[in-house]
Each structure stands twice: as structure tokens, then as C-alpha cells.
Amino acid sequence: MFLSKQKKNQGERGNRLLVSVTVMGSAGPIRFVVDEKELVANVIDMVLKSYAREGRLPVLGSKIDNFVLYSPIAGTEALSPWETIGSFGVRNFMMCKKPGVDKEIEQDATAAINRKGSGSWKAWFNKSLNLKVCSH
């Protein structure tokens, strides 16, 4: 029975890993299962999508080029986006924004908020003020 589970886990894609990615400035790590042959760039994309789906703060955006992934064994060097995630032999990673992209992400977030609810509360407020009171 143990062998059948092991074979199922090691299909054509290879081993699957439970990775934990801590986003700098976030409350806690994001955990998900990923194929060990998955590229670092794809893992960053998965983290950003999961982060947004969970509604975490601060808002990060969705451009994978704005972020880097670090491994505890690589030291201060960021991982190459073209390396496979399983090649490092670790399962815990740290994701940070690249220097200088804070303003760009902030502008994207404010633009998204403005598009999403541009004046909806203002329209409601004006409508409530313009209600006519009927006199008997």
C-alpha cells in the first residue's frame, strides 16, 4: 500500500512539495503544493494569486517581475526565475518586492480601487440627499 501511494505521488511530473512562502510585510506564510520541477517564476505567480484571493494586505499587485524569491541556503542572492523550485532542497522561501517598485504597486492599487468603486458611495450620498420629502 505504501508503494502505491509513493508511485501516485511521483507521476510523470515528479515529486510534489508542500512549500511555504513568507511574503515580506504579510501576517503569515502562504502554503501550497507544487511540483518540484516548477519554475521559480511560476511559484511567484501562484503566491501572488493566492495572496490576492485571500484578500491579504498590503496589496501587492500581480506583476511577477516586481518580486524576487529567496531561499535560506542561497543567502542574500535572489533565486533565478528560470530555476526549478525543487533544485534547492528546501521548502521554506521568502518573497520580497524588488527595490523601487513600491510606488508602481501603490499606483496600480489605487487605480484598481478607483475603477472598482468610482463614485459609488458619492452617488449613493447624493441620491439620499436629493430624496424629496412628500408633504401631506
76: in domain: yes
122: in domain: no
Residue 47: phi and psi, rounded to 5, are: -65, -45
115: in domain: no
1: in domain: no
- Its pTM stands at 0.66
Query: Of all helices (H) and strands (E), which one includes residue 75?
Result: none
Beta-strand relationship, 92-97 and 30-35 = unpaired
70: domain CATH number? 3.10.20.90
120: in domain: no
Range of the domain at 51: 18-100
If we measure between CA atoms, which residue out of 32, 31, 33, 41 comes closest to residue 13?
Answer: 33
Cα dist from 110 to 2, 39, 42, 43, 107, whole Å: 52, 30, 26, 26, 5
67: in domain: yes
Split into its structural domains, the chain has a count of 1
127: in domain: no
Beta-strand relationship, 16-23 and 92-97 = parallel
Query: How does DSSP assign 8-42, residue by residue?
Result: HHTSTT--EEEEEEEETTSSS-EEEEEETT-BHHH
26: in domain: yes
Q: What is the pLDDT along the chain (136 residues), one digit of tens a residue?
A: 344 444 455 556 579 999 999 999 898 999 999 999 999 999 999 999 999 999 998 888 889 999 999 998 877 889 999 999 999 889 999 999 988 766 655 566 566 555 555 556 666 556 555 555 555 5
